Amino acid sequence: MYRVRVRSVPPVVLALRRFPNPRLTGIGAGLFASLTMFVLACVDRLLFDSSELVYGLLFLPVSALTALWVRPADLVTAPISVPIAFAVGVFPISGGSEGFGGQVMGLVTALAVHAGWLYGGTLIAGLIASVRKVRQMRARRRYVLAQGRGGAPAPASERAPRSAASAAAAAAKPVRAGAGGAGAVARRPQRP
C-alpha cells in the first residue's frame, strides 16, 4: 500500500497569500512609489518634525513593495522609478528657505545627505526585480522543456538507434534536387 506524503504549507505562507498581489505597470509602479513617498514625507513632517531616519526607514519597504508589485513585463522599471519617488517624497522634508532657488538648494542638499537611504532602497528594488526576472526565466525554460522541447531536436543520447532496415529504407528514398539535410547524399552538379 502506498502512502501519499502531503506537504503542509506553513501558516505564515498562508497569511502572506491573503495579502493583495496587484500587478502594476511600469508607470503605475512609479506613480505608486511617488505618491506613497510624498504622503509619507508629509506625515513625517507633521508627526516627526521632518526626521531623516523615519523617512529613510519608510522608503525601504516602499521600494520593496514597488519591486514586488510591478508586473513581470515591466520589472526593469522598478529600480528606475524608486529613486524618482525618493526625490519626489523628499521635497516636503527638505527644509529649504523661501523662494524657488532656496527650495531647489534644500532639495539638492537633502538628496545628497540622504544618499545612503536612496542607494539602499534602489539596491533592494534592484535585487528583488533581478530575483523575480531569474525565476521568470527559469519557469519559462521549464515550460518550454515540458512542451516537448519547443521543436528543438532531441540530443543524440536521447534518440532511438536506427535499425538496419530503417537506415536502408531512408537511404533508398529518392532525393529531390536542392533538398538539403541528412538524407541528401548526392546533389546534381551546378551548371556554369
Please report, in tens digits, the pLDDT of each residue of the chain (192 residues total): 566 666 777 887 777 677 777 788 889 999 999 999 999 999 988 888 878 888 889 999 999 999 998 988 888 998 999 999 999 988 888 776 777 788 788 888 888 888 889 999 999 999 999 999 999 999 999 888 888 765 555 555 445 555 555 555 555 555 555 555 554 455 666 666
Measured on CA atoms in the order 131, 19, 26, 63, is the torsion positive or negative?
A: negative
SS3 70: strand
CA distance 92 to 89: 7
Nearest CA to 69 out of 118, 119, 19 is that of: 19
Q: For residue range 30-76, what is the model confidence (pLDDT) as tens digits?
A: 999 999 999 999 998 888 887 888 888 999 999 999 999 898 888 89
What are the Cα distances from residue 179, in Å, to 32, 127, 171, 186? Answer: 58, 51, 14, 10
* Identity at 65, one-letter amino acid code: L
How many residues are recorded in the chain? Answer: 192
CA distance 46 to 40: 10
C-alpha cell at 76: 526593469
Q: What's the whole-model pTM score?
A: 0.64
